[in-house]
């Protein structure tokens, strides 16, 4: 498998007559954060659960560092760490007990340092049910990485978190990636996927409809770049001059927004026009389409 | 071994931390014991003869059959077993450790009852303490295994209450706890053999108190032991990690096999 940590090939999962996943394939190399995106029912959870050994696949190959999750669960458990969406801890278990409990089953020493690193100092003896959502998520992540697995599965890790907790978790994920861990991230949060992942696969009705880095995916969409311009005298509002490479334009509040297939000549022409009209530029924004826009384009047709 | 100890310690503490479990393990059986001590002994002085075994069995059945299955079903429904599976917690530990700790709590309550009932309520003390301890352990094992089986076959928390009450309520009425089996109507008496409490009560009466009984005591001991072993084996076989994943070994109706020794005992006098 060379440096491939995770291999999914022609993977299928069916429930009765319903095909949840229909022959998907992807590979994840060491040290990559790979995003699994898709609307509800796309097959993300089925894929994750089969990779985690919670369900049996109905076809294809699943391989994590040479281990088949369905046939070798005893080998799998020390290779993966899983932060489940519902954090999966008994309500009366304290953070310290949880750390000792899970580390004991993995045969490693408890990592109380992780609790402190994840901002749970002073909460070691608090019961799980008394922790805030953010603290519960951080504890779940601490437990997922405590036995130093090479692969981590994160299912909606920042759902329900405030901005600060979300940023902290993102920083930790980046640190883990920098330490060489491979992360499979399932999320609905496109901004998170765009910021955190090296590559993503977009699932729709059990099939991968797009795969690549967020930049590659956004570049392969409609190909339009958004150019937003605000000027002092607003001469562009009444301008009917066709700027090069512009397919359409609209006025939104004090901005004129152009969709351009080649933003360089478009911006140059706009600036030349403003100069000729003796208008002064206040704000100019050139934006690639976001991953969310590309995702909606793919999933809604 | 370390994992077992951490798991055992956590589950034992849960029996005290969780208000519902604290109630069912200690407050409910001890409160009932005190009430029976004041009321029943005044109404029916003959109750003093059977008070210790009746209240000990009551405490065991309350903790294991009424109390233990609920949290296990809730844990499965909450996805906690999924987390356990991913982290390598064996199915046997998930079932057996709560069974052990619940049995431990029940034994503490049983010890309190056994030591205080003769002092405060004039209850008869056992003449064979060794037999009392042995029968208490056997009863705790059997009832804990039945509690595990209930937790495994219950589709949800509501079903758990139904299955638990199917054992608990008849045990109260015709299981020899409130009135001796020999005073039950002739038509009802054979059905009392279907309940673990009847066999446990007969064993206490015969072997711990040297009083006359109507069951064959070696058969009753065998019935309790076999039923416990069958219930434990079926619990492990029918265990399901995940409410969302309905694929399981066997059908829940297989759990009825654990009742086979009781049915057989109806015909073995």
| CA gap B41, B48 in Å, rounded | 6
ipTM: 0.84
Would the CB atoms of A52 and B242 count as touching at under 8 Å? no
- Cβ atoms of A152 and A184 within 8 Å: the answer is yes
Q: Could you give the C-alpha distances from A112 to A29, A96, A100, A213, B224, in angstroms and in order?
A: 30, 7, 9, 35, 45
Choose the CATH number for A4-219 among 3.40.630.30, 3.40.50.300, 3.10.450.350, 3.20.20.140. 3.40.50.300
CA A21 to each of CA A14, A48, A54, A199, A210: distance values in angstroms, whole numbers, following the listed order: 7, 11, 15, 20, 15
Please tell me the distance from the alpha carbon of residue B238 to that of residue B215, in angstroms, as a whole number: 32
Alpha-carbon distance A80 to A65, whole Å?
Answer: 10
Per-position DSSP letters for B110-164, written without gaps between them:
HHHHHHHHHHHH-PPPPS-HHHHHHHHHHHHHHHHHHHHHHHHH-SSHHHHHHHH
Which of A52, A56, A100 faces B86 most closely, judged by CB atoms? Answer: A52
The number of C-beta contacts closer than 8 angstroms across A and B is 67
Phi, psi of A18 (to 5 degrees): -90, 125
Residue closest to A281 by CA, chosen among A203, A220, A226, A227:
A227
Is the CB of A88 inside 8 Å of chain B's CB atoms? yes
Q: Give the pLDDT confidence of B91-114 residue by residue, as tens digits.
A: 899 999 999 999 999 999 999 999
Nearest to B54 by CA among B189, B259, B168, B205: B205
How would you classify the pairing of strands A182-187 and A151-155?
parallel
Q: Per-residue pLDDT for B69 more than 90?
A: yes
Chain A neighbors of B84, CB-CB under 8 A: 88
Q: Where are the domains of chain A?
A: 4-219, 225-300
The values of phi and psi at residue B90, to 5°, are: -70, 150
Residue in A56, A84, A106 closest to B79 by CB: A84
- Cβ pair A294, A221 in contact under 8 A: yes
For helices B129-153 and B69-77, angle between their N-to-C axes, nearest 10 degrees: 30
- Residue labelled with tokens 């409410």: B243
- Kindly give the confidence (pLDDT) of every residue in chain A, 301 residues in length, as a single tens digit, with 9 standing for 90 and above: 448 899 999 999 998 889 999 999 999 999 999 999 888 888 888 999 999 998 889 999 999 999 999 888 888 998 999 987 666 899 999 999 999 999 999 999 999 888 888 888 889 999 999 998 888 888 998 999 999 999 999 988 887 778 887 888 888 888 889 988 999 999 888 888 888 999 999 898 899 988 888 888 776 666 678 889 999 988 888 776 788 888 888 888 889 988 888 888 999 999 999 998 899 999 998 887 777 777 777 776 5
Task: Provide the Cα torsion A51, A56, A60, A65; round to 10°.
Answer: 30
């Amino acid at each position: 498998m060379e440096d491939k940590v995770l291999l999914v090939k022609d993977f299928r999962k069916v429930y009765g007559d319903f095909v949840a996943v229909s022959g998907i394939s992807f590979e994840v190399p060491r040290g990559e954060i790979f995003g699994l995106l898709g609307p509800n029912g796309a097959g993300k959870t089925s894929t994750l659960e089969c990779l985690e050994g919670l369900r049996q696949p109905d076809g294809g190959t699943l391989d994590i560092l040479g281990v088949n999750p369905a046939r070798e669960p005893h080998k799998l458990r020390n290779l993966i760490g899983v932060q489940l969406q519902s954090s999966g801890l008994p309500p009366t278990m304290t953070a310290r007990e949880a750390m000792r409990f899970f580390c004991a089953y993995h045969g490693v020493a408890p990592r109380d340092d992780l609790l402190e690193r994840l901002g749970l100092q002073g909460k070691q003896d608090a019961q799980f049910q008394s922790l805030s959502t953010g603290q519960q998520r951080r504890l779940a992540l601490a437990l997922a990485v405590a036995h130093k697995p090479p692969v981590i599965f994160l299912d909606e890790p920042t759902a329900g978190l405030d901005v600060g907790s979300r940023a902290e978790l993102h920083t930790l994920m980046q640190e883990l990636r920098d330490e060489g861990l491979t992360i499979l991230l399932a999320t609905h949060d496109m901004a998170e996927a765009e910021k955190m992942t090296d590559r993503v696969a977009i699932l729709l009705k059990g099939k991968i409809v797009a795969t690549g880095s967020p930049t590659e995916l956004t570049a392969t969409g409609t190909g339009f770049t958004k150019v937003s311009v605000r000027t002092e005298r607003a001469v562009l509002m009444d301008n009917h001059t066709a700027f090069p490479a512009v397919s359409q334009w609209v006025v939104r509040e004090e901005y004129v927004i152009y969709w351009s297939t080649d933003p360089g000549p478009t911006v140059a022409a706009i600036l030349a026009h403003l100069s000729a009209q003796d208008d002064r530029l206040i704000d100019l924004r050139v934006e690639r389409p976001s991953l969310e826009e590309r995702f909606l384009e793919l999933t809604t047709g | 071994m370390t994992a077992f100890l951490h798991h055992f310690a956590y589950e034992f503490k849960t029996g005290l931390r969780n208000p519902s479990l604290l109630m069912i393990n200690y407050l409910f059986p001890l409160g009932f014991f005190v009430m029976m001590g004041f009321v029943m002994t005044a109404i029916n002085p003959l109750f003093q003869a059977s008070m210790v075994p009746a209240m000990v069995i009551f405490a065991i059945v309350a903790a294991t059959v009424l109390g233990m299955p609920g949290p296990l079903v809730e844990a499965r429904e909450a996805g906690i077993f999924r987390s356990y599976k991913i982290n390598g917690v064996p199915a046997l530990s998930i079932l057996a450790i709560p069974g052990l700790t619940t049995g431990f709590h029940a034994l503490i309550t049983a010890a309190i009852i056994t030591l205080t009932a003769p002092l405060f309520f004039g209850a008869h003390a056992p003449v064979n303490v060794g037999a009392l301890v042995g029968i208490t352990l056997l009863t705790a094992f059997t009832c804990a295994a039945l509690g595990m089986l209930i937790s495994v076959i219950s589709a949800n928390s509501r079903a758990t209450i139904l299955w638990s009450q199917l054992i608990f309520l008849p045990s109260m009425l015709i299981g020899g706890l409130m009135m001796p089996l020999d005073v039950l109507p002739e038509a009802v008496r054979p059905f009392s053999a279907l309940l673990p409490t009847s066999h446990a009560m007969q064993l206490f009466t015969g072997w711990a108190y040297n009083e006359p009984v109507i069951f064959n005591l070696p058969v009753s001991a065998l019935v309790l032991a076999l039923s416990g072993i069958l219930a434990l084996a079926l619990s492990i076989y029918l265990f399901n990690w995940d409410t969302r994943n309905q694929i399981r070994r066997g059908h829940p109706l297989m759990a009825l096999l654990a009742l086979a020794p009781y049915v057989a005992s109806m015909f073995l006098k």
